[in-house]
Structure 1
Amino acid sequence: MSESLTIVGIAGSLRAQSYNRQLLAAAGELLPNDVRFILADISNVPLYNEDLESALPEAVVTLKQTVESADGVIFATPEYNGSIPGVLKNVIDWLTRPRGQSSLNGKPAGIIGGTTGMFGAVNAQMHLRHILPLLNMYVIPQPLVLISQIQNKLDAAGHLTDETSQKFLQQHLDRLVSVARRMKNEQ
């Protein structure tokens, strides 16, 4: 029997009814039974300020501990002005600080996302695909999970209803879990 895993989801939106947070919840439901899913709360993470590194804010400490205890991270991002939202970049900045104490180092990363437009956060995901490897994360390369017009692909309860999107999401998650298992077994 496989050793259990923990995957942390981080949504790049603070909106109460965030489509990307709902997408992460749907992802959590698709993970195997032996994978624990934690949806990280980033709502109280302050703006990054190097002056605060000597006594990290409580929300940052909690987030760092949650990510450090995980075997992988999945980021769900909307697209704001052709890139990742500032709140997501802020969280990534905090997770890599203080210098030499990155909570993301060496972890596998999934990247998914949806928008109400036609391009499914493709630019935001490409920006994350540039940033995360620089932080020594292994990014799952395929399939891309780019959900356009996401508002039409979630039901009132936040469940993903589009079969094509479900298929790509499942394949992406399967690869993330496979890599996380392999990396955990190599430790």
Structure 2
Amino acid sequence: MKLVGIAGSVADKSYNRLLLKFIANHFSDTVDVEILDIQDVPMFNQSDDQTDSESVQYLSNKIKQADGVIIATPEHNHTITASLKSVIEWLSYKIHPLSGKPVMIVGASYYDQGSSRAQLNLRQILESPGVDAIVMPGNEFLLGEVKDAFDDQHNLKDARTVGFLKETLDKFVKFVKVINTMNGPAADDGWKSEDLESHGKVETTIEGVDMHAADWVEKASAKTHAASGDDYVELDRGVLTVNQLNYFLNSMPMELTYADANNQFIYYNHNADAKDMLASRTPAQAGNPMADCHPKRAIPHVQQVIHMLRTGKTDLFKLPVPGNGPDKYVMHYYQAMHDAKGEYKGINELVLDIMPIVKYYLSHTGQVLAKNPNAKTDAVSGASAKAATPKPDSVSGASADVAPEAPDEVSGASADPEPVTPAQPEVDSVSGASGNDN
């Protein structure tokens, strides 16, 4: 399950941020928690609309993509901080990412009441019209006397506190599933809208060039007067010539593919001939819509994977290609790409044989692979002992006969998602006010 955590403090040293980090690390086997900072969010001012600013849009997109939200609030004069209130103002002014979103409130305070009044204040704000979050009732986690609560490794000292936090988090996981089931459609078939024929248009679409042309790269370059050869290109953190970029990308010990937000296959690093590649590609395929890169029987599975990446259900989808024998284990990684505002910009597909890495690790650590008797898959091939070896698609290497696996906790997707239709994939003192922000 993918959650985001927000600490209601902009202080450099925040015990509430420390509490969220403990939750993210200690309970990583239960949830995937990404901690979001609010330091860069401007103070709310309706006369100076910052709704489209990078910081506000980043928070909004992350919240929308998450299954649920954990907010850790300090207590200042019986209320939440001005910075957290300002953030919620932005997130309920013209945009409403918290609407219908399951939220769990926790809090830490220097005093023994553990931000109880701030939590009550925050609950009222989150449930107000315009915010419309769905806050988990009861189950308040109030961490008092927080200065003495953590050890030198930033772990909570008291085992009973950790146990209660686990019980609360487990209940929140169930709460999230119930709320999202109620909010969701009867059947999530949004993946069917993925247009693999690339009929749409994005800001990088090169119009007037036939996507199916074998010389698409050359025609697209001429159309756009693209830089080439020793022309310099300014990158995020570097300046390289086009030739240097090609040297760099073609020397990568893996195969890379770029499919844009319009589902058009626009690049691969040409570091080997098609016959020698793990996932065969040819120069003439560059520019093709994704529908041309897969057999028809694989199209629904491809649509499902792309839709999961586009909608934030996962940022990384992993797919092994079995049947290569004990000396080769080919993995396909489909990584969602985003711009600075968090908007989806396409897929980076990475293909590599991980067996040389495994063998190197084993030889340098003196360890050996041992079969797990309880494993459900063949430890060598990764395929089910009962399943026939699927035939990989010549372009992606992905099986046309196997539905995508459910992403695991590393990918950021739910490790225990709700079931969906069979054709779809299964897809973390008195007032309590402090002189120092906590």
TM > 0.5 between the two?
yes
Aligned to 1:48: 44
Find the counterpart in structure 2 of residue 127 from structure 1. 121
Q: Is the 8 A contact 2:99 2:132 kept in 1?
A: yes
Please give the residue correspondences for 1:109-120 in structure 2 after superposition, counting only pairs within 5 Å: 109-120=103-114
Q: Indicate whether 1:170 and 2:163 are aligned.
A: no
Equivalent in the alignment of 2:98: 104
Taking only aligned residues, the RMSD between alpha carbons, in angstroms, comes to 1.7
**Greater CA deviation, 44-53 or 30-39?**
30-39
TM-score by length of 2: 0.40
Query: Hey, what's the Cα distance between the residues in 2 that align with 1:68 and 1:152?
Result: 35
- Structure 1 stretches of 5 or more lacking a match? none
Sequence identity percentage? 34
User: Match for 1:68: what amino acid?
Assistant: K
Higher RCO by CA contacts (8 Å cutoff, separation 6 or greater): 1
Counterparts of residues 21-100 of structure 1 (less than 5 Å):
21-31=17-27, 33=29, 35-53=31-49, 56-98=52-94
> Which residue pairs with 2:225 in the alignment?
none
Tell me how far apart the structure 1 counterparts of residues 17 and 50 of structure 2 sit (CA, whole Å): 31
> How far is 1:94 from its partner?
1.2
State the Cα deviation string for residues 73-104 of structure 1 (Å, max 9, x = none): 11101111111011111111111121xx3010
Shift of 1:54: 6.8
Q: Decide whether the 8 Å contact of 1:8 with 1:39 is kept in 2.
A: yes
Question: TM-score w.r.t. structure 1 length?
Answer: 0.89
Unaligned runs of at least 5 residues, structure 2: 185-438
How far did residue 183 of structure 1 move? 2.9
Larger Rg: 2
Following TM superposition, by how much is the alpha carbon of 1:184 offset from its aligned partner in structure 2, in angstroms? 3.1
Cα distance change on mapping 1:55 and 1:110 into 2, 3 Å: closer
Q: Offset of 1:111 from its aligned partner?
A: 0.5
List aligned pairs for 1:142-157, cutoff 5 A: 142-157=138-153
Count of matched residue pairs: 181
Amino acid at match of 2:7: A
- Output one character per residue of 1:22-80: Cα deviation in whole Å (capped at 9) or x when no partner: 00111113435363211012110011122343762211111111111111111101111
- Bigger share in helix: 1
The one-letter amino acid of 1:166's match is: V
Q: Do structure 1's residue 139 and structure 2's residue 135 form an aligned pair? A: yes
SS of the residue corresponding to residue 127 of structure 2 reads helix
